[in-house]
A = this chain, B = another copy of it.
Protein backbone atom coordinates (compact mmCIF):
# COMPACT_ATOMS: atom_id res chain seq x y z
CA UNK A 1 0.00 0.00 0.00
CA UNK A 2 1.28 3.39 -0.96
CA UNK A 3 0.97 5.75 1.96
CA UNK A 4 0.12 8.67 -0.34
CA UNK A 5 -3.11 6.80 -1.13
CA UNK A 6 -3.82 5.44 2.35
CA UNK A 7 -6.83 6.81 4.15
CA UNK A 8 -4.99 7.85 7.27
CA UNK A 9 -4.36 11.14 8.92
CA UNK A 10 -1.91 11.25 11.81
CA UNK A 11 -2.45 13.87 14.49
CA UNK A 12 0.26 15.70 16.41
CA UNK A 13 -1.88 15.73 19.53
CA UNK A 14 -4.71 13.60 20.80
CA UNK A 15 -7.91 15.24 22.05
CA UNK A 16 -7.51 16.30 25.68
CA UNK A 17 -10.25 13.93 26.84
CA UNK A 18 -8.29 10.89 25.70
CA UNK A 19 -6.88 9.68 29.04
CA UNK A 20 -5.50 6.26 28.23
CA UNK A 21 -2.25 5.97 26.25
CA UNK A 22 -3.83 3.46 23.88
CA UNK A 23 -6.69 5.84 23.21
CA UNK A 24 -4.27 8.68 22.48
CA UNK A 25 -2.01 6.64 20.21
CA UNK A 26 -4.82 4.96 18.29
CA UNK A 27 -6.37 8.37 17.62
CA UNK A 28 -3.06 10.03 16.76
CA UNK A 29 -2.04 7.20 14.45
CA UNK A 30 -5.35 7.33 12.60
CA UNK A 31 -6.37 3.81 13.61
CA UNK A 32 -9.75 4.81 15.03
CA UNK A 33 -12.07 7.81 15.13
CA UNK A 34 -14.89 8.55 17.55
CA UNK A 35 -18.40 8.95 16.17
CA UNK A 36 -20.17 9.30 19.53
CA UNK A 37 -19.22 8.61 23.14
CA UNK A 38 -18.01 5.00 23.23
CA UNK A 39 -18.77 4.50 19.52
CA UNK A 40 -15.83 4.29 17.10
CA UNK A 41 -15.02 3.83 13.45
CA UNK A 42 -12.04 1.63 12.63
CA UNK A 43 -10.05 3.28 9.85
CA UNK A 44 -8.11 1.08 7.42
CA UNK A 45 -5.01 0.71 9.63
CA UNK A 46 -7.05 -0.10 12.74
CA UNK A 47 -9.27 -2.46 10.81
CA UNK A 48 -6.23 -4.36 9.51
CA UNK A 49 -5.06 -4.93 13.07
CA UNK A 50 -8.52 -6.08 14.12
CA UNK A 51 -8.70 -8.47 11.20
CA UNK A 52 -5.37 -9.96 12.22
CA UNK A 53 -6.64 -10.48 15.76
CA UNK A 54 -9.83 -12.01 14.38
CA UNK A 55 -7.80 -14.38 12.23
CA UNK A 56 -5.81 -15.62 15.22
CA UNK A 57 -9.00 -16.10 17.22
CA UNK A 58 -10.64 -18.05 14.39
CA UNK A 59 -7.62 -20.27 13.85
CA UNK A 60 -7.38 -21.19 17.53
CA UNK A 61 -11.09 -21.72 18.08
CA UNK A 62 -11.41 -23.79 14.93
CA UNK A 63 -8.41 -25.79 16.12
CA UNK A 64 -10.22 -26.33 19.42
CA UNK A 65 -13.19 -27.76 17.51
CA UNK A 66 -15.53 -24.80 17.99
CA UNK A 67 -17.85 -23.96 15.08
CA UNK A 68 -18.42 -20.42 13.88
CA UNK A 69 -21.83 -18.92 13.21
CA UNK A 70 -23.37 -15.47 13.29
CA UNK A 71 -26.33 -14.41 15.39
CA UNK A 72 -28.34 -11.19 15.11
CA UNK A 73 -27.92 -8.03 17.15
CA UNK A 74 -31.70 -7.49 17.22
CA UNK A 75 -33.07 -9.79 19.90
CA UNK A 76 -36.74 -10.14 20.83
CA UNK A 77 -37.32 -8.83 24.37
CA UNK A 78 -39.41 -11.94 25.00
CA UNK A 79 -36.29 -14.11 25.16
CA UNK A 80 -34.74 -11.80 27.75
CA UNK A 81 -37.90 -11.90 29.79
CA UNK A 82 -37.83 -15.69 29.68
CA UNK A 83 -34.29 -15.77 31.05
CA UNK A 84 -35.15 -13.16 33.67
CA UNK A 85 -32.50 -10.74 32.47
CA UNK A 86 -34.71 -8.14 30.79
CA UNK A 87 -35.11 -6.26 34.04
CA UNK A 88 -31.94 -7.46 35.73
CA UNK A 89 -29.64 -6.09 33.02
CA UNK A 90 -30.67 -2.52 33.76
CA UNK A 91 -29.97 0.55 31.64
CA UNK A 92 -26.92 -1.02 29.95
CA UNK A 93 -29.32 -2.99 27.77
CA UNK A 94 -30.33 -0.90 24.77
CA UNK A 95 -34.04 -1.36 24.16
CA UNK A 96 -36.14 -0.36 21.16
CA UNK A 97 -39.49 -0.98 19.55
CA UNK A 98 -40.06 -1.89 15.92
CA UNK A 99 -42.73 -0.33 13.69
CA UNK A 100 -45.26 -2.82 15.02
CA UNK A 101 -44.39 -1.78 18.59
CA UNK A 102 -42.71 -5.07 19.40
CA UNK A 103 -39.94 -4.82 21.97
CA UNK A 104 -36.34 -5.67 21.08
CA UNK A 105 -32.98 -5.51 22.80
CA UNK A 106 -29.69 -4.82 21.05
CA UNK A 107 -27.60 -7.80 22.10
CA UNK A 108 -24.95 -7.06 24.73
CA UNK A 109 -24.30 -10.82 24.77
CA UNK A 110 -26.02 -13.87 23.28
CA UNK A 111 -26.75 -16.45 25.97
CA UNK A 112 -30.50 -16.22 25.35
CA UNK A 113 -30.28 -16.41 21.56
CA UNK A 114 -27.83 -19.30 21.44
CA UNK A 115 -29.72 -21.26 24.09
CA UNK A 116 -32.99 -20.86 22.19
CA UNK A 117 -31.22 -21.84 18.96
CA UNK A 118 -29.54 -24.94 20.37
CA UNK A 119 -32.74 -25.96 22.10
CA UNK A 120 -34.44 -25.93 18.71
CA UNK A 121 -31.68 -27.77 16.83
CA UNK A 122 -30.40 -30.37 19.28
CA UNK A 123 -32.67 -33.03 20.70
CA UNK A 124 -30.28 -35.84 21.48
CA UNK A 125 -27.06 -36.48 23.39
CA UNK A 126 -25.68 -37.79 20.11
CA UNK A 127 -25.32 -34.22 18.79
CA UNK A 128 -23.40 -33.12 21.89
CA UNK A 129 -21.08 -31.73 23.09
CA UNK A 130 -20.91 -28.74 20.81
CA UNK A 131 -19.14 -25.39 21.15
CA UNK A 132 -20.32 -22.52 18.94
CA UNK A 133 -18.80 -19.09 18.54
CA UNK A 134 -19.21 -15.83 16.67
CA UNK A 135 -17.26 -12.61 16.22
CA UNK A 136 -19.93 -9.98 16.31
CA UNK A 137 -20.78 -6.41 17.26
CA UNK A 138 -22.17 -5.96 20.76
CA UNK A 139 -24.05 -3.04 22.28
CA UNK A 140 -23.89 -1.95 25.92
CA UNK A 141 -25.03 1.45 27.01
CA UNK A 142 -22.20 2.03 29.51
CA UNK A 143 -22.86 4.75 32.01
CA UNK A 144 -19.40 6.12 31.50
CA UNK A 145 -17.79 4.98 28.25
CA UNK A 146 -14.08 5.79 28.36
CA UNK A 147 -10.50 4.96 27.49
CA UNK A 148 -11.38 4.64 23.81
CA UNK A 149 -11.96 1.02 22.88
CA UNK A 150 -11.40 -0.18 26.45
CA UNK A 151 -14.92 0.66 27.54
CA UNK A 152 -17.14 1.29 24.55
CA UNK A 153 -20.85 1.15 23.88
CA UNK A 154 -20.55 -0.60 20.51
CA UNK A 155 -17.71 -3.07 20.31
CA UNK A 156 -16.49 -6.24 18.66
CA UNK A 157 -16.64 -9.36 20.74
CA UNK A 158 -15.93 -13.01 20.25
CA UNK A 159 -18.46 -14.98 22.23
CA UNK A 160 -18.56 -18.75 22.45
CA UNK A 161 -20.99 -21.13 24.12
CA UNK A 162 -20.58 -24.81 24.96
CA UNK A 163 -23.33 -27.37 25.50
CA UNK A 164 -22.52 -30.56 27.38
CA UNK A 165 -24.39 -33.52 28.77
CA UNK A 166 -22.52 -33.55 32.08
CA UNK A 167 -20.50 -31.38 34.43
CA UNK A 168 -17.43 -33.44 33.57
CA UNK A 169 -18.09 -32.64 29.93
CA UNK A 170 -18.33 -28.96 30.82
CA UNK A 171 -15.00 -29.23 32.66
CA UNK A 172 -13.48 -30.50 29.45
CA UNK A 173 -15.10 -27.87 27.20
CA UNK A 174 -14.06 -25.17 29.66
CA UNK A 175 -10.47 -26.35 29.80
CA UNK A 176 -10.43 -26.58 26.02
CA UNK A 177 -11.49 -22.94 25.65
CA UNK A 178 -9.17 -21.87 28.47
CA UNK A 179 -6.24 -23.32 26.59
CA UNK A 180 -7.37 -21.81 23.28
CA UNK A 181 -7.50 -18.42 25.04
CA UNK A 182 -3.96 -18.87 26.29
CA UNK A 183 -2.79 -19.58 22.74
CA UNK A 184 -4.74 -16.64 21.32
CA UNK A 185 -3.32 -14.12 23.78
CA UNK A 186 0.16 -15.52 23.44
CA UNK A 187 0.02 -15.25 19.67
CA UNK A 188 -1.20 -11.66 20.00
CA UNK A 189 1.94 -10.91 22.01
CA UNK A 190 0.00 -10.03 25.15
CA UNK A 191 1.36 -10.04 28.71
CA UNK A 192 -1.60 -11.59 30.54
CA UNK A 193 -2.65 -13.64 33.55
CA UNK A 194 -5.62 -15.96 33.88
CA UNK A 195 -7.17 -15.24 37.26
CA UNK A 196 -9.97 -16.60 39.41
CA UNK A 197 -12.93 -14.31 39.17
CA UNK A 198 -16.51 -13.68 40.15
CA UNK A 199 -19.27 -14.72 37.79
CA UNK A 200 -20.98 -11.33 38.13
CA UNK A 201 -24.06 -10.40 36.16
CA UNK A 202 -23.82 -13.21 33.60
CA UNK A 203 -24.00 -15.53 36.58
CA UNK A 204 -23.49 -19.22 36.82
CA UNK A 205 -22.74 -21.73 39.46
CA UNK A 206 -19.22 -22.75 38.98
CA UNK A 207 -15.71 -21.85 38.08
CA UNK A 208 -14.83 -18.73 36.18
CA UNK A 209 -11.56 -17.18 35.07
CA UNK A 210 -10.72 -13.80 33.70
CA UNK A 211 -7.87 -13.24 31.30
CA UNK A 212 -6.23 -10.03 32.41
CA UNK A 213 -3.86 -7.95 30.31
CA UNK A 214 -1.51 -6.39 32.81
CA UNK A 215 -1.55 -2.63 32.36
CA UNK A 216 -1.65 0.40 34.66
CA UNK A 217 -4.81 1.76 33.04
CA UNK A 218 -6.70 -1.41 33.96
CA UNK A 219 -9.77 -1.02 36.12
CA UNK A 220 -9.32 -4.39 37.80
CA UNK A 221 -6.79 -5.40 40.43
CA UNK A 222 -5.13 -8.77 40.15
CA UNK A 223 -3.61 -10.40 43.23
CA UNK A 224 -0.83 -12.86 42.48
CA UNK A 225 1.60 -14.99 44.44
CA UNK A 226 5.04 -15.35 42.96
CA UNK A 227 5.66 -18.42 45.10
CA UNK A 228 2.82 -20.68 43.99
CA UNK A 229 1.37 -18.95 40.92
CA UNK A 230 -1.96 -18.16 42.58
CA UNK A 231 -3.75 -15.37 40.73
CA UNK A 232 -7.18 -13.93 41.38
CA UNK A 233 -9.19 -10.83 40.76
CA UNK A 234 -9.10 -8.75 43.93
CA UNK A 235 -12.86 -9.13 44.15
CA UNK A 236 -12.32 -12.86 44.64
CA UNK A 237 -8.84 -13.07 46.21
CA UNK A 238 -9.00 -14.79 49.57
CA UNK A 239 -7.40 -12.82 52.37
CA UNK A 240 -5.19 -15.65 53.57
CA UNK A 241 -6.09 -15.40 57.26
CA UNK A 242 -8.79 -17.97 57.60
CA UNK A 243 -6.31 -20.73 58.42
CA UNK A 244 -4.75 -18.77 61.23
CA UNK A 245 -5.64 -18.84 64.91
CA UNK A 246 -7.04 -16.24 67.23
CA UNK A 247 -4.73 -13.88 69.12
CA UNK A 248 -4.39 -14.05 72.90
CA UNK A 249 -7.20 -11.75 74.04
CA UNK A 250 -6.88 -8.96 76.60
CA UNK A 251 -8.26 -9.47 80.08
CA UNK A 252 -9.22 -5.82 80.49
CA UNK A 253 -12.99 -5.30 80.71
CA UNK A 254 -14.75 -3.15 78.13
CA UNK A 255 -15.01 0.57 78.85
CA UNK A 256 -17.25 3.18 77.25
CA UNK A 257 -15.54 6.39 76.10
CA UNK A 258 -17.16 9.73 75.29
CA UNK A 259 -16.17 10.52 71.68
CA UNK A 260 -18.04 13.66 70.64
CA UNK A 261 -18.34 14.04 66.84
CA UNK A 262 -15.81 11.31 66.22
CA UNK A 263 -17.28 9.48 63.26
CA UNK A 264 -14.56 8.26 60.96
CA UNK A 265 -11.78 5.75 61.51
CA UNK A 266 -9.26 8.54 60.98
CA UNK A 267 -10.89 10.77 63.60
CA UNK A 268 -11.17 7.87 66.04
CA UNK A 269 -7.57 6.88 65.44
CA UNK A 270 -6.41 10.40 66.26
CA UNK A 271 -8.76 10.90 69.20
CA UNK A 272 -7.79 7.67 70.93
CA UNK A 273 -4.21 7.57 69.67
CA UNK A 274 -4.98 4.08 68.41
CA UNK A 275 -3.74 2.60 65.11
CA UNK A 276 -6.48 1.71 62.57
CA UNK A 277 -5.41 -1.93 63.06
CA UNK A 278 -6.72 -1.64 66.62
CA UNK A 279 -10.15 -0.46 65.55
CA UNK A 280 -13.12 -2.63 64.62
CA UNK A 281 -15.02 -0.95 61.80
CA UNK A 282 -18.75 -1.72 61.60
CA UNK A 283 -20.62 -1.19 58.33
CA UNK A 284 -24.32 -1.63 57.83
CA UNK A 285 -25.48 -3.19 54.55
CA UNK A 286 -28.82 -4.04 53.06
CA UNK A 287 -28.76 -7.59 51.71
CA UNK A 288 -31.94 -8.25 49.69
CA UNK A 289 -33.66 -5.54 51.81
CA UNK A 290 -32.52 -7.04 55.13
CA UNK A 291 -29.98 -5.11 57.25
CA UNK A 292 -26.73 -6.82 58.19
CA UNK A 293 -23.61 -5.55 60.00
CA UNK A 294 -20.09 -6.35 58.79
CA UNK A 295 -17.20 -5.91 61.22
CA UNK A 296 -13.69 -5.58 59.79
CA UNK A 297 -10.39 -4.16 60.95
CA UNK A 298 -10.09 -0.38 60.66
CA UNK A 299 -7.38 -0.54 57.98
CA UNK A 300 -9.28 -3.04 55.82
CA UNK A 301 -11.93 -2.72 53.14
CA UNK A 302 -15.12 -4.73 52.95
CA UNK A 303 -15.30 -6.99 49.90
CA UNK A 304 -18.97 -6.85 49.00
CA UNK A 305 -18.79 -9.81 46.66
CA UNK A 306 -17.54 -12.03 49.47
CA UNK A 307 -20.32 -10.80 51.77
CA UNK A 308 -22.88 -11.36 49.06
CA UNK A 309 -21.66 -14.89 48.39
CA UNK A 310 -21.60 -15.68 52.16
CA UNK A 311 -25.19 -14.53 52.54
CA UNK A 312 -26.32 -16.00 49.24
CA UNK A 313 -27.89 -12.58 48.56
CA UNK A 314 -29.09 -11.37 45.17
CA UNK A 315 -28.28 -7.73 45.91
CA UNK A 316 -26.05 -6.00 48.44
CA UNK A 317 -25.39 -2.34 49.06
CA UNK A 318 -24.46 0.03 51.87
CA UNK A 319 -27.54 1.02 53.88
CA UNK A 320 -28.58 4.65 53.66
CA UNK A 321 -28.53 6.82 56.86
CA UNK A 322 -32.23 6.35 57.44
CA UNK A 323 -32.03 2.56 57.18
CA UNK A 324 -29.01 2.51 59.49
CA UNK A 325 -30.85 4.57 62.10
CA UNK A 326 -33.80 2.23 61.84
CA UNK A 327 -31.68 -0.94 62.04
CA UNK A 328 -29.25 -0.04 64.80
CA UNK A 329 -30.74 3.07 66.41
CA UNK A 330 -27.68 5.22 65.88
CA UNK A 331 -25.84 6.87 62.97
CA UNK A 332 -23.18 4.94 61.05
CA UNK A 333 -20.17 6.44 62.85
CA UNK A 334 -21.16 5.03 66.24
CA UNK A 335 -22.43 1.57 65.28
CA UNK A 336 -20.70 -1.43 66.82
CA UNK A 337 -21.25 -5.18 67.25
CA UNK A 338 -21.95 -5.19 71.00
CA UNK A 339 -25.61 -5.88 71.63
CA UNK A 340 -26.48 -5.47 67.96
CA UNK A 341 -29.89 -6.91 67.06
CA UNK A 342 -29.26 -7.47 63.37
CA UNK A 343 -26.97 -10.26 62.06
CA UNK A 344 -23.26 -9.47 62.57
CA UNK A 345 -20.64 -10.84 60.17
CA UNK A 346 -17.15 -10.80 61.67
CA UNK A 347 -14.10 -10.82 59.43
CA UNK A 348 -11.32 -13.33 60.21
CA UNK A 349 -8.85 -10.49 60.79
CA UNK A 350 -11.04 -9.12 63.58
CA UNK A 351 -10.94 -12.50 65.32
CA UNK A 352 -7.18 -12.21 65.56
CA UNK A 353 -7.30 -8.89 67.41
CA UNK A 354 -6.34 -9.11 71.11
CA UNK A 355 -8.75 -6.25 71.72
CA UNK A 356 -10.19 -3.34 69.80
CA UNK A 357 -12.22 -0.18 69.73
CA UNK A 358 -15.72 -0.11 68.29
CA UNK A 359 -18.83 2.05 68.22
CA UNK A 360 -21.05 1.89 71.30
CA UNK A 361 -24.36 2.02 69.39
CA UNK A 362 -24.84 5.32 71.16
CA UNK A 363 -24.26 8.79 69.76
CA UNK A 364 -20.84 10.25 70.62
CA UNK A 365 -19.62 7.08 72.30
CA UNK A 366 -17.19 4.24 71.54
CA UNK A 367 -16.10 1.21 73.55
CA UNK A 368 -12.49 0.10 74.14
CA UNK A 369 -10.93 -3.23 75.22
CA UNK A 370 -13.51 -5.05 73.12
CA UNK A 371 -12.78 -8.76 72.64
CA UNK A 372 -14.53 -10.67 69.83
CA UNK A 373 -16.41 -13.67 71.19
CA UNK A 374 -16.30 -12.33 74.73
CA UNK A 375 -18.15 -9.06 74.15
CA UNK A 376 -20.07 -9.92 71.02
CA UNK A 377 -21.08 -13.02 69.13
CA UNK A 378 -18.68 -14.48 66.59
CA UNK A 379 -21.12 -17.04 65.36
CA UNK A 380 -20.89 -15.72 61.80
CA UNK A 381 -17.26 -15.32 60.84
CA UNK A 382 -15.65 -15.37 57.45
CA UNK A 383 -13.41 -13.72 54.91
CA UNK A 384 -15.22 -10.44 54.30
CA UNK A 385 -12.42 -8.09 53.35
CA UNK A 386 -10.36 -7.30 50.29
CA UNK A 387 -6.98 -8.99 50.20
CA UNK A 388 -4.11 -6.52 50.50
CA UNK A 389 -0.75 -6.33 48.89
CA UNK A 390 1.71 -8.09 51.19
CA UNK A 391 -0.96 -10.45 52.61
CA UNK A 392 0.16 -14.00 52.98
CA UNK A 393 -0.87 -16.02 49.92
CA UNK A 394 -4.17 -17.78 50.65
CA UNK A 395 -3.12 -20.70 48.50
CA UNK A 396 0.42 -21.67 49.52
CA UNK A 397 0.49 -19.76 52.85
CA UNK A 398 4.12 -18.97 52.09
CA UNK A 399 4.40 -16.30 49.40
CA UNK A 400 3.08 -12.78 49.70
CA UNK A 401 0.43 -11.28 47.45
CA UNK A 402 1.50 -8.75 44.84
CA UNK A 403 -1.06 -6.57 43.05
CA UNK A 404 -1.24 -5.60 39.40
CA UNK A 405 -3.71 -3.56 37.48
CA UNK A 406 -5.38 -5.51 34.73
CA UNK A 407 -7.66 -5.07 31.73
CA UNK A 408 -10.14 -7.91 31.35
CA UNK A 409 -9.71 -9.11 27.76
CA UNK A 410 -11.27 -12.53 28.14
CA UNK A 411 -13.58 -14.41 30.44
CA UNK A 412 -14.54 -18.07 30.68
CA UNK A 413 -17.59 -19.12 32.69
CA UNK A 414 -19.19 -22.36 33.74
CA UNK A 415 -22.82 -21.39 33.38
CA UNK A 416 -24.27 -24.77 34.22
CA UNK A 417 -28.04 -24.66 33.76
CA UNK A 418 -28.54 -20.94 34.46
CA UNK A 419 -29.95 -20.37 30.94
CA UNK A 420 -30.78 -23.88 29.75
CA UNK A 421 -33.13 -24.40 32.66
CA UNK A 422 -35.41 -21.31 32.33
CA UNK A 423 -35.27 -21.45 28.52
CA UNK A 424 -35.99 -25.19 28.49
CA UNK A 425 -32.91 -26.36 26.56
CA UNK A 426 -33.23 -30.07 27.12
CA UNK A 427 -32.13 -33.22 25.28
CA UNK A 428 -32.71 -36.95 25.51
CA UNK A 429 -29.86 -38.90 27.08
CA UNK A 430 -28.75 -42.39 26.01
CA UNK A 431 -31.54 -43.86 28.13
CA UNK A 432 -34.16 -41.70 26.48
CA UNK A 433 -34.54 -39.52 29.56
CA UNK A 434 -34.92 -35.78 29.28
CA UNK A 435 -31.99 -33.81 30.71
CA UNK A 436 -31.07 -30.16 30.92
CA UNK A 437 -28.03 -29.05 28.91
CA UNK A 438 -24.94 -27.97 30.85
CA UNK A 439 -23.53 -24.76 29.42
CA UNK A 440 -20.36 -22.73 29.45
CA UNK A 441 -19.72 -19.32 27.89
CA UNK A 442 -16.50 -17.73 26.78
CA UNK A 443 -15.86 -14.15 25.73
CA UNK A 444 -13.03 -12.12 24.27
CA UNK A 445 -13.31 -8.36 23.87
CA UNK A 446 -11.78 -8.14 20.40
CA UNK A 447 -11.63 -4.36 20.11
CA UNK A 448 -10.63 -4.07 23.77
CA UNK A 449 -7.82 -6.54 23.16
CA UNK A 450 -6.46 -4.27 20.44
CA UNK A 451 -6.30 -1.39 22.93
CA UNK A 452 -4.81 -3.55 25.67
CA UNK A 453 -1.99 -4.55 23.33
CA UNK A 454 -1.23 -0.89 22.67
CA UNK A 455 -1.27 -0.18 26.42
CA UNK A 456 1.45 -2.79 26.82
CA UNK A 457 3.41 -2.19 23.68
CA UNK A 458 4.38 1.40 23.03
CA UNK A 459 7.05 3.92 23.84
CA UNK A 460 7.03 7.70 23.97
CA UNK A 461 7.24 7.85 20.19
CA UNK A 462 4.29 5.65 19.39
CA UNK A 463 2.91 2.15 19.10
CA UNK A 464 5.05 -0.97 18.77
CA UNK A 465 2.83 -3.61 17.18
CA UNK A 466 3.61 -7.26 17.82
CA UNK A 467 4.51 -8.88 14.52
CA UNK A 468 1.47 -11.16 14.37
CA UNK A 469 -1.12 -8.41 14.45
CA UNK A 470 0.71 -5.43 12.91
CA UNK A 471 -1.28 -3.62 10.19
CA UNK A 472 1.71 -4.07 7.87
CA UNK A 473 4.87 -6.04 8.46
CA UNK A 474 7.29 -3.63 6.80
CA UNK A 475 7.32 0.15 6.57
CA UNK A 476 9.32 1.16 3.52
CA UNK A 477 10.32 4.83 3.49
CA UNK A 478 11.87 6.75 0.63
CA UNK A 479 13.56 9.89 1.97
CA UNK A 480 13.46 12.00 -1.17
CA UNK A 481 10.83 11.46 -3.82
CA UNK A 482 12.88 13.68 -6.09
CA UNK A 483 16.04 11.53 -5.98
CA UNK A 484 15.90 9.11 -8.87
CA UNK A 485 18.21 6.51 -7.32
CA UNK A 486 16.14 6.47 -4.14
CA UNK A 487 12.83 6.24 -5.96
CA UNK A 488 14.06 3.47 -8.23
CA UNK A 489 15.47 1.39 -5.39
CA UNK A 490 12.42 1.96 -3.19
CA UNK A 491 10.02 0.92 -5.95
CA UNK A 492 12.12 -2.12 -6.66
CA UNK A 493 12.07 -3.16 -2.99
CA UNK A 494 8.35 -2.49 -2.78
CA UNK A 495 7.75 -4.94 -5.62
CA UNK A 496 10.25 -7.54 -4.40
CA UNK A 497 9.02 -7.64 -0.82
CA UNK A 498 5.39 -7.87 -1.87
CA UNK A 499 6.24 -10.67 -4.25
CA UNK A 500 7.73 -12.48 -1.26
CA UNK A 501 4.32 -12.27 0.36
CA UNK A 502 5.10 -9.41 2.72
CA UNK A 503 2.62 -6.71 3.58
CA UNK A 504 4.41 -3.45 2.91
CA UNK A 505 3.35 0.11 3.64
CA UNK A 506 5.38 2.32 1.31
CA UNK A 507 5.78 5.92 2.42
CA UNK A 508 6.04 7.51 -1.01
CA UNK A 509 4.77 10.88 0.17
CA UNK A 510 6.45 14.12 -0.75
CA UNK A 511 7.09 15.04 2.90
CA UNK A 512 10.12 15.93 5.00
CA UNK A 513 12.09 13.01 6.42
CA UNK A 514 11.30 14.13 9.97
CA UNK A 515 7.59 13.90 9.35
CA UNK A 516 7.97 10.47 7.80
CA UNK A 517 10.01 9.14 10.71
CA UNK A 518 7.65 10.55 13.29
CA UNK A 519 4.66 9.03 11.52
CA UNK A 520 6.50 5.74 11.20
CA UNK A 521 7.28 5.66 14.92
CA UNK A 522 3.67 6.50 15.69
CA UNK A 523 2.21 3.82 13.39
CA UNK A 524 4.46 1.21 14.97
CA UNK A 525 5.06 -1.21 12.08
CA UNK A 526 7.67 -3.72 13.34
CA UNK A 527 10.32 -3.31 10.61
CA UNK A 528 11.36 -0.18 8.79
CA UNK A 529 13.41 0.10 5.64
CA UNK A 530 14.75 3.56 4.88
CA UNK A 531 15.89 4.29 1.34
CA UNK A 532 18.04 7.42 1.58
CA UNK A 533 21.40 8.81 0.50
CA UNK A 534 23.03 5.39 0.31
CA UNK A 535 20.57 4.32 -2.35
CA UNK A 536 23.09 5.17 -5.06
CA UNK A 537 25.36 2.53 -3.48
CA UNK A 538 22.48 0.09 -3.39
CA UNK A 539 22.23 0.31 0.39
CA UNK A 540 19.35 0.93 2.74
CA UNK A 541 18.84 1.26 6.47
CA UNK A 542 16.95 -1.51 8.26
CA UNK A 543 15.44 -0.61 11.63
CA UNK A 544 13.59 -2.65 14.23
CA UNK A 545 10.85 -0.53 15.73
CA UNK A 546 10.90 -2.12 19.16
CA UNK A 547 14.56 -1.58 19.96
CA UNK A 548 15.53 0.99 17.34
CA UNK A 549 18.49 -1.20 16.27
CA UNK A 550 19.73 0.01 12.88
CA UNK A 551 21.70 -1.84 10.23
CA UNK A 552 22.92 -0.66 6.87
CA UNK A 553 22.35 -3.42 4.35
CA UNK A 554 22.57 -4.05 0.65
CA UNK A 555 19.39 -4.95 -1.14
CA UNK A 556 20.44 -8.60 -1.21
CA UNK A 557 21.32 -8.65 2.46
CA UNK A 558 18.01 -7.04 3.27
CA UNK A 559 15.88 -9.50 1.37
CA UNK A 560 17.80 -12.35 3.00
CA UNK A 561 17.09 -11.05 6.54
CA UNK A 562 15.93 -13.89 8.69
CA UNK A 563 13.04 -11.85 10.09
CA UNK A 564 11.67 -11.67 6.58
CA UNK A 565 12.07 -15.35 5.97
CA UNK A 566 9.92 -16.16 8.99
CA UNK A 567 7.20 -13.63 8.30
Contacts and interface: CB of A to CB of B under 8 A. Distances in A.
A413 B30 CA distance: 28
Contact of A7 (B39, B132, B137): B132
Contact of A139 (B43, B44, B74): B74
A40, A69, A94, A127, most chain B CB atoms within 10 A = A69
A483 B474 CA distance: 55
A141 B99 CA distance: 7
Contact of A74 (B43, B126, B154): B154
A184 interface: no
Given A6-B67, A7-B67, 5 more contacts: A7-B121, A7-B127, A35-B75, A36-B75, A98-B141
A130 to B, nearest CB: 5
Interface of A: 4-9, 30, 33, 35-36, 39-44, 46-47, 50, 65, 67-76, 91, 94-96, 98-99, 102, 104, 106, 113, 116-117, 120-122, 126-127, 130, 132, 137, 139, 141, 143, 153-154
Given A74-B153, A74-B154, A68 B96 contact: no
25 contacts: A7-B69, A8-B121, A9-B121, A9-B122, A33-B117, A35-B71, A35-B74, A36-B75, A36-B76, A39-B72, A39-B74, A41-B113, A41-B117, A43-B69, A44-B68, A44-B69, A74-B153, A74-B154, A91-B99, A95-B96, A96-B96, A96-B106, A98-B153, A99-B143, A106-B106
Which label, helix, strand, loop or mixed, suits the secondary structure of the A interface? mixed
Given A33-B120, A96-B94, A113-B35, A130 B70 contact: no
A360 B348 CA distance: 101
A467 to B, nearest CB: 21
8 A-B pairs with the lowest CB-CB distances in the bound complex, closest first: A96-B96, A42-B70, A44-B67, A9-B121, A91-B99, A41-B71, A39-B72, A99-B141
A320 B41 CA distance: 46
Given A69-B43, A99-B91, A137-B137, A76 B35 contact: yes
